[in-house]
Structure 1
Amino acid sequence: MKKNEKNLIEAILFSASEPLDVGTIKSKVKSGTDILKILYELQKDYEDRGIRLVNLADKWSFRTSDDLSGKLKKEIIIQKKLSKAAIETLAIIAYHQPVTRSEIEEIRGVSFSTGTLEILFELGWVKPNGRKEIPGKPLLYVTTDKFLNHFNINSLDDLPNSDELLAAGLIDSRVDSSIFGTSKFIESDQNENKENIYSNIDDMISDTLDEDK
């Protein structure tokens, strides 16, 4: 491995405006370069530095070291936050994806405006992903890699489960834990609980919106 190849990959990652996957990096360097080997070496080089090379959702980027990020944090008051409907919708999509609009509304117990989804599209956290094979073929919605990256989640498997949410005080014991299944849409007969299920995790999501990263 030539030193200039390693330096080039380091420079590519520094100058990138967003995390890069191996394929993107590979397209910018000499053919035959062992990209993963260099990435792991760079990760080791930076493990005790003020910035670190991290891999989230199979994409690589440099970030401030966790033990220093608090000292560099700049508090900014944001006047406009996500609406309650947007936060609940994002949470439902995250835990039930792929999910249709009607399924989201059924879980929430109320309908919502098209603008709610548009806000999540603009943030890049949600996207359409095919259609459900039922009459009318409604669009299915899923979260994106940008959602994982923003919330510092490596994969959907790392989303907190019902026991973890309960321990953190984000839901109470009356909430049906099956509502947090991630593999498929789960119908519930507990209609009286639907309206507030996802408002209980508002803090988990909205806390990250108070920072300008």
Structure 2
Amino acid sequence: MTPSEHNPDEQTEDTSSPQSFSLAEAERIAEALVFASAEPVSEDFLAERLPLGVDIPAVMESLSSFYASRGVNLIRSADRWAFRTAADLSFVIRKDDNDVRKLSRAALEVLAIIAYHQPVTRAEIEDIRGVQTSRGTLDVLMEAGWVRFRGRRRTPGRPVTLGTTPDFLDHFGLEELRDLPGLDELKGAGLLSGRIPPNFQVPLPGMGDELQDDEDPITQMDLEELGLLTPGGEEEE
């Protein structure tokens, strides 16, 4: 009998039901999907490809625990999963120098300010740094895929606000923005001067992608008018 002749009233066994899949089988499928993907995989993506009713978070946490002590780890960043080299083995991984684009000190400073102060405008970045920020510095961070335009601030001039991207979290091994190093971690790593003010606090970034009350959505027309996009819709190089 062909599929078109199938009687919808007949009861057939649903081989895709979660009851027919053990946890081990679900893990194998999820493992293969993450391994085969060139980009981090979302839990929604996995849910579409695993049997209905499978507990995706439980499957991924089980896999993550399995890989925790191995040479590659299964890492969650935001709502996405990816395999990454174990942090303590990074020293044995050699990369072609052409594959690594070193950021200038200015770019690192701007990236740190955006990460901790987002949503933030270019003028606010310059106020914090005390110097002007060149267009090229922001271009480098956007080309890396770590910074994006968020919206427009509801203040005179309606300046564009900036924030980080999921690729930023993935690259730096963060699950969410609140995993950014705090004051003690930054001091321990020697990244803060020992002479910082006694009441100094590391700022807490906005925790979501949603626009804040003082932000409006940014459109392609806005970006074109500001010279941030070409008329074809691509970012200027």
User: In the TM superposition, what are the counterparts of 1:1-213 in structure 2 within 5 Å?
Assistant: 1=18, 2-3=21-22, 4-70=25-91, 72-74=92-94, 76-77=96-97, 81-176=102-197, 178=200, 180-183=202-205
Name the structure where helix makes up a greater proportion of residues: 1
Larger relative CO (CA 8 A, sep 6+): 1 or 2? 1
Q: Which has the larger radius of gyration?
A: 2
Structure 1: unaligned runs, 5 residues or longer: 185-213
Q: Which runs of 5+ in 2 are unaligned?
A: 1-17, 207-237
The structural deviation recorded for 1:183 is 4.2
Distance 1:107 1:69, change over 3 A: closer
Cα separation, 2, equivalents of 1:69 and 1:83? 22
SS at match of 2:49: coil
SS of match in other structure, 1:27: helix
Q: For residues 121 and 111 of structure 2, what CA distance do their matches in structure 1 show?
A: 12
Letter paired with 2:202: F
- Normalised to the residue count of structure 2, the TM-score between the two structures is 0.67
Q: Name the amino acid aligned to 2:173.
A: N
Contact preservation (8 Å) 1:96, 1:180: no
CA apart distance, 1:182: 2.2
Percent identity between matched residues is: 43
Q: CA RMSD in A?
A: 2.5
Moved more, 51-60 or 40-49: 40-49
